[in-house]
Amino acid sequence: MFTFALNNKPVTLAADGEMPLLWALRDVLGLKGTKYGCGVGRCGICTVLIDGAPQHACMLPLSQAAGKSVLSIEGLAEKYPALVQAWIAAQVPQCGYCQGGQLMAAAALLVQRNHPTDAEIDAALSGVLCRCGSYLRIRRAVKLAAQGVATPGMAFAPALPPAPDAGIALNDFIRVHADDSMTVVINHSEMGQGALSSLAVLAAEELEVDLDRIRKELRYSALAADAAQLRPPGRLHLKEPGEFRLIGKPIPRLDIPDMVAGCTRYGIDVVRPGMRVATVVRCPVFGGSVNHVDAGRARAVPGVRDVIEIESGVAVRADDFWSAQRGRETLHIEWDEGAQAALDDTAIEAELNAARRQDGKLVRNDGNARRALKNAAYVCEADYFTPYLAHAALEPMNCVADVRPDGCDIWVGTQSQVDTQAIAATITGLSKDKVRVHTQFLGGGFGRRLETDFVADAVQLTKMTGTPV
């Protein structure tokens, strides 16, 4: 039994003391605001405050939190209201996945420095990896919080309550409810670019309603069949720019308050009844395959249900992620690394150099580059080599799938719903109209979520095991 104060309330857990605090928060207590990223304490997004000091929850055993005060993003607004208000006022989040780590680091800094400098802010926040480059807005937010004030006019009202009724559908995208509110159905992926807010603004503009009467709702599958049957009108009359009330105005994003409160649900936060959690070990060489798996120790780990070979590698399926991860660490796998076993950076570089010396495909033919270079007064030549850029979003690739004889449901943060639906239909043998894709918020995209390999893993496992995975 371990007792500690969580967000100023006492909590007692009967759990394995070696369990990282992160999984006690997420899987035992159901607080999904603290996120999982790298799992080795390097990305910083799992940061919580332990007795006021920032700690990586993914690395801190539950036993070490006993008797201490733990603050997660869900309790931040009560303890540091000025910081939360400033974060919203400065519109800091993009995809929002790293906000728990960012806010915790900022809170700890403000306790130590009443009026931190730019250099101090940068140093305090540098432990939270983020590719979105929002640090200028972070500096502004921290300074606003230090002053105890937010920018006038930038506060944002709470989201509308659930719709009072099913509403009257004007079309596949807009429903009007009895309380004069409206629901806009959006089939675009939200990964920090503001798609939800932008499309809601467009709807509010054309419908002549206030933005605070609009709800967010992401659905893709419900639109596909009907939308495919629609014929667009020959001519649409839209407002002239001079008539705009909302478009072009500085309007706060609709989804940021939930991100700052730790309420936004990403793909990794989805929980379904009877769901199991799996993690997949892949061959370290592309194109490799499994020769032999020794899974005895993995199957003995408490919580592990089974070890299964699938197309992409070896999956450990368990009751929760921590159990699956522990089981994965005990696996002994002999790989057949295949034809690419000897491939290294030197060989890849040589192939790329050979390719660039070949004539490329002519796409445009403007001017005469060779003549211009020949007649130039000075020509500078240089070769640049850069390493591969990992398409590594902070939210790990994840997918929840539920395959049944009559259909397949998929909950996933994806940039490609059509391909997701197609790969699931191929694996299950179901027709595409039986595959429903529930698009979740994306903790970063960077093109990586255009791929469907992680979707295929989940669909194969749930089809093989008969439970949501």
Domain boundary among 112, 147, 182: 147
Residue located via tokens 């408490």: 302
User: Does residue 143 sit in the same domain as residue 290?
Assistant: no
Close Cβ partners of 315 (under 8 Å, ≥ 6 residues apart): 278, 279, 280, 281, 307, 308, 309, 457, 461
**pLDDT number for residue 220:** 47
Considering 204-213, 220-229, 295-304, the range whose residues carry the highest mean pLDDT is 295-304
pLDDT band at 143 (very low <50, low <70, confident <90, very high): very high
Quick one: pLDDT at residue 362?
Answer: 86
CATH code, domain with 208: 3.30.365.10
Instruction: Kindly state whether residues 185 and 66 are assigned to the same domain.
Output: no
CB atoms < 10 A from the CB of 216, how many?
Answer: 18
274 and 138 share a domain?
Answer: no
Domain enclosing residue 274, as ranges: 269-338+393-465
Q: Are the CB atoms for 12 and 1 separated by under 8 Å?
A: yes
Please tell me the distance from the alpha carbon of residue 108 to that of residue 360, in angstroms, as a whole number: 54
Beta strand residue intervals within 121-235, DSSP E: 168-169, 174-176, 182-186, 214-218
Can you give the pLDDT at residue 188? Answer: 84
Percentage of residues in the chain having pLDDT higher than 90? 66
DSSP string, 326-375: HHHHH-EEEEE-GGGTT--HHHHHHHHHHHHTS--------S-HHHHHHH
Q: Name which residue leads in pLDDT, 200 or 389.
A: 200
**pLDDT at position 294 over 70:** yes
Tell me which residue of 29, 49, 72, 90 sits closest to 257, measured CA to CA. Answer: 90
Per-residue pLDDT, 90: 92
- Does 386 have pLDDT greater than 80? no
- Looking at residues 419-448, what average pLDDT do you find? 95
**Better-scored residue on pLDDT, 237 or 303:** 303
Residue 371: inside a domain: no
Q: Is residue 355 part of a domain?
A: no
Which tens digit of pLDDT belongs to each residue from 27-42? Answer: 999 999 999 999 999 9
Convert the pLDDT of each residue in 160-196 to its tens digit.
677 788 888 888 888 888 887 888 888 889 988 888 8
Judged against a pLDDT cut of 70, whether residue 24 lies above it is answered with yes
Q: Say yes or no to pLDDT of 303 above 80.
A: yes
Output the pLDDT for position 152: 47
pLDDT in tens, 427-440: 999 999 999 999 99
The answer to whether residues 321 and 196 belong to one domain is: no
- Top pLDDT among 74 and 179 is at 74
pLDDT in tens, 227-247: 567 777 778 778 888 989 889
Boundary (domain end) residue, out of 84, 113, 147: 147
Q: What is the count of structural domains for the chain?
A: 3
The single residue listed with the structure tokens 């070696």 is 18
Check which CATH number belongs to the domain holding 49 and give it: 3.10.20.30
Q: Is residue 286 part of a domain?
A: yes
pLDDT at position 156, please? 46
Mean pLDDT within 186-213:
86
Task: Tell me what the mean pLDDT of segment 68-76 comes to.
Answer: 96
With cut-offs at 50, 70 and 90, classify the pLDDT of residue 88.
Answer: very high
Give the C-alpha separation, 57 to 74, whole Å: 14
Residue with more model confidence, 290 or 185 = 290
Residue 417's pLDDT is 94
Task: Report, as an integer, the average pLDDT of 392-420.
Answer: 95
Which has the minimum average pLDDT: 82-91, 185-194, 296-305?
185-194
Q: Is 5 helix (H, G, I), strand (E, B) or coil?
A: strand
If you average pLDDT over residues 77-87, what whole number do you get? 93
Identify the pLDDT of residue 187: 80
Query: Is the model's pLDDT at 407 over the cut of 50?
Result: yes
Q: Tell whether the model's pLDDT for residue 86 goes beyond 90.
A: yes
Q: Which of 216, 251, 286 is the last residue of a domain?
A: 251
Average model confidence (pLDDT) across the chain: 90
Pair (10, 131) in one structural domain = yes
In a domain, 378, yes or no: no
- Give me the sheet containing 53-56, strands edge to edge: 9-13, 2-6, 69-71, 47-50, 53-56
Cα–Cα separations (whole angstroms), residue 4 to 74, 105, 271: 16, 21, 26
Q: Tell me, yes or no, whether 215 and 295 share the same domain.
A: no
Instruction: Kindly tell me if the per-residue pLDDT of 224 is higher than 60.
Output: no
Domain identity same for 322 and 403: yes
Model confidence at 11: pLDDT above 90: yes
Q: Do 201 and 331 share a domain, yes or no?
A: no
Residue 380 lies in a domain: no
Between 402 and 161, the more confident residue is: 402
- pLDDT exceeds cutoff 90 at 214: no
Q: 204 and 82 in one domain? A: no
pTM: 0.86
Same domain membership, residue 143 and residue 173: no
* Alpha carbons 103 and 111: distance in angstroms, whole number: 12
The answer on pLDDT for 154 being more than 50 is no
Residue 99 within a domain: yes
Classify residue 264: in a domain, yes or no: no
The yes-or-no verdict on residue 75 having pLDDT over 50 is yes
Find out whether 207 and 174 touch, Cβ atoms under 8 Å.
Answer: yes
Is a pLDDT exceeding 70 seen at residue 459?
yes
First to last CA, the chain: 30
The confidence band for 310, taking pLDDT boundaries of 50, 70 and 90, is: very high
Residue 210 placed within a domain: yes
Tokens representing residue 9 in the block:
């309330």
Residues 222 and 314 in one domain: no
Q: Assess whether 199 and 83 both reside in one domain.
A: no
